[in-house]
A and B are shown apart, each in its own frame.
Chain A
Amino acid sequence: EAGVAQSPRYKIIEKRQSVAFWCNPISGHATLYWYQQILGQGPKLLIQFQNNGVVDDSQLPKDRFSAERLKGVDSTLKIQPAKLEDSAVYLCASSPVRAPGANVLTFGAGSRLTVL
């Protein structure tokens, strides 16, 4: 089966500019996650979708970050305006159902953002 697809793989922008990342999960996976991984840190959850509804966005900086998952398939994560501290790898993951106890997450390769 095809994996989780993410694009772009790399993006360099200046602070206060905007950027968008795209994720296509594994076909049939109802749950989609966006994680932020700063260099030297573990991934931190930004937002979790179940189909096209938001389950958890408690750690999403909503003043500058937004995410959507229209039609319950692809998802986009947007940052506007970007700050220097947003430099990180943005990882998308998907799983068949919501319960982490029963399923293993499949991660994409990530989108590396550098903010200058």
Chain B
Amino acid sequence: KQEVTQIPAALSVPEGENLVLNCSFTDSAIYNLQWFRQDPGKGLTSLLLIQSSQREQTSGRLNASLDKSSGRSTLYIAASQPGDSATYLCAVPSSGNTPLVFGKGTRLSVIA
């Protein structure tokens, strides 16, 4: 059974800092890995999707890396802004072509 862990559970940083969020998963036979953002009271917005054959994906100030063999992914946020404050969740298909299994998320606060 796939399990996803995210560290840290919460993070507070001053504006402008670069930061890294971590995600680990127990079953390395994944289809892909996705990073989502969730604002309070809102649904989830997909940020990046990394296919199992890829090592990383970039979108603007966000860069996600994937190391399948070690069961780890990181989300790097450059030059953080107060608008980046949200909960960030990573998710993987539990096995093969199946629905997403989510971590508990990292709650990020960027202080102006």
Measuring CB to CB, which residues of chain A are less than 8 angstroms from any residue of chain B?
Answer: 4, 33, 40-45, 48, 56, 91, 93, 98-101, 104-110, 112
Contacts and interface: CB of A to CB of B under 8 A. Distances in A.
B44 A43 contact: yes
Interface of B: 4, 31-32, 34, 36, 41-46, 49, 51-52, 89, 91, 93, 97-105
Contact of A100 (B45, B99, B102): B99
The CB with the most chain B CB atoms within 10 A, among A4, A91, A100, is that of: A100
B99 A110 contact: no
Contacts of A91: 43-44
A100 B105 contact: no
Nearest to B90: A42
B43 A100 contact: no
A110 B52 CA distance: 29
Contacts of A4: 43
A112 to B, nearest CB: 8
Contacts of A45: 99-101
Given A42-B104, A101-B31, A101-B32, A33 B46 contact: no
A100 B44 contact: no
Contacts of A42: 4, 89, 91, 102-105
Contact of B97 (A40, A41, A99, A108): A99
A44 B43 contact: no
Contacts of B31: 99-101
Contacts of A106: 46
Given A41-B104, A42-B104, A101-B32, A33 B99 contact: yes
A115 B62 CA distance: 38
Nearest to B104: A42
